[in-house]
Chains A and B, each alone.
Chain A
Amino acid sequence: MDGRRWTTLTLAVLALGVVWTFASRAPLAATTGGAPPPSPREGFSAPDFTLDSLDGGQTTLSDLRGHIVLVNLWASWCLPCRAEMPAIERVYRSYKDLGLIVLAVNATNQDSVAAARAFIEARGLTFPVLLDRTGSVSAAYNLRGLPSSFFIDRQGVIRSVVIGGPMNEALIQSKVESLLKETP
């Protein structure tokens, strides 16, 4: 193809591209950058839940808006879950006064309250432990493997998902720090 025809073709393609780009403009709300619906992935609102706590009482996720929340799905028989708990505890102790909340959601439908309690007490873990007795939270979060962790920002949007483990302390700390740096 000679140079002039190629230039004409190039300009035609680019003009078409500009028209297409203009025609496919979208309001912010058309993507997850707007008001994201609940779904267990980055950029979407964290599916809400209310669960019993191991120490009594209930916790509702949506009541924690304004805080950085780490939802960690775990079971006492799961070795990577057990391995990452000390790192979660250390980060929790370092950042809880800055607004970090850890919700360790025990997959009680495939574990037992007694085993979960024994593990938590043996390790001296201080963050809230919630009991997913029916597996409803596991279902809402499309649980495919334990442990699964969801880092949620102050607006209740999931910002990072870590499936499998164990997570190391630097990973947890970096995710929490990046969310804490954001303007409340």
Chain B
Amino acid sequence: MFPYLRLGPLLLQTPGLALLIGVWLGLSLAEKESVKLSLKPDQVYNLIFFGLVSGLIGARLAYAARFLNAYLESPLSLFSINPNTLSPGDGLVIGLVVAGVYGWRKGLPLRPTLDALAPGLAAFMIALGVAHFLSGDAFGARTDLPWKIYLWNDYRHPTQVYEILLASGIFMLVRFRPLGNPGQGVNFLTVVALSAAARVFLEAFRGDSLIWSGGFRAAQIVGLVILAAALFMIKAWAQPQEPQPEQAQ
């Protein structure tokens, strides 16, 4: 694990760098895919960009709102680049809402737009695995298997490597063997379903699971719900659609 890289006086956070590369890859792939689907690439690019930026700002503001006194005393701290003062869940919701509103105002058709995002999202999931590998987050449970790695003072499952491998498989499938017809939204749902299935499978090997009552791992329960929803939506969305003449050229 190599979470930090010192470049002179700078301490570069390599997981953040991996995520940035993932975002860049995701944006590039989404632009290419949007051309294939007869969408305007700049609108799809802006959709992601505004979602990301507003998500980031929202995550900081939501964190500051939780500790209002601290930020009222030193408001300039709002502009800190430190990732420790973000509220990721709130940022995700805000980013999705802003992206949704942008897409609606620009008249972007839902299902083709989601399909345009699919390969980029799958590529980002690989980058997320790499970020976990570099930071040592999402670490595995103790094991004696031959491929164990030494991390956090114990021999553990290399769950970050499992994550990268599964995400790579999902990426290959949605990029080169997409299910359904282009623009149906099925390719996007495939990414969601396979990512949820991967999480349900991988969580069993994790050493940092949130455990709910009865010993159930929270991420597996949530993953199963998402998997079920995605699989049933694939069936519904795979039905032939009426033509949509208003689709952007």
Contact = CB atoms under 8 A, between A and B. Distances in A.
Contacts of A13: 197, 227, 231
Contacts of B206: 31
Contact of B67 (A20, A39, A177): A177
A27 interface: yes
A24 B235 contact: no
Contact of B224 (A17, A43, A162, A177): A17
A145 B14 CA distance: 13
B241 interface: no
A170 B67 CA distance: 8
A135 interface: no
B211 A31 contact: yes
A105 to B, nearest CB: 18
B153 A37 contact: yes
B220 interface: yes
B82 interface: yes
B80 A168 contact: yes
Given A6-B234, A21-B224, A168-B77, A31 B209 contact: yes
B77 A14 contact: no
Contacts of B207: 30-32
B11 A163 contact: yes
A18 to B, nearest CB: 7
A44 interface: yes
A28 interface: yes
B12 to A, nearest CB: 9
Given A6-B235, A30-B141, A145-B4, A168 B66 contact: no
A126 interface: no
A65 B74 CA distance: 30
A3 B70 contact: no
A171 B154 CA distance: 31
A6 B230 CA distance: 12
Contacts of B210: 31, 33
B152 interface: yes
A43 B152 CA distance: 11
A163 B153 contact: no
A17 B74 CA distance: 48
A17 B228 CA distance: 10
Contacts of A44: 152-153
A82 interface: no
A177 B53 CA distance: 28
A168 B74 contact: yes
B82 A169 contact: no
A14 B216 CA distance: 16
Nearest to B201: A20
A173 B70 contact: yes
Interface in B188-211: 197, 200-201, 203-204, 206-211
Nearest to B72: A170
Contacts of A3: 235
B211 A26 contact: yes
A41 B64 CA distance: 24
A164 interface: yes
A133 B153 CA distance: 23
7 contacts: A10-B235, A17-B223, A21-B217, A31-B141, A162-B82, A170-B78, A170-B85
Interface of B: 3-4, 6, 9, 11, 13, 63-64, 66-67, 69-71, 73-74, 76-78, 80, 82, 84-85, 136, 141, 152-154, 197, 200-201, 203-204, 206-211, 214-217, 220-221, 223-224, 227-228, 231-232, 234-235, 238
Interface of A: 3, 6-7, 10, 13-14, 17-18, 20-28, 30-33, 37-39, 41, 43-44, 79, 144-145, 160, 162-164, 167-171, 173-175, 177-178
| List of 3 A-B pairs having minimum Cβ-Cβ separation, nearest first | A24-B204, A170-B77, A25-B215
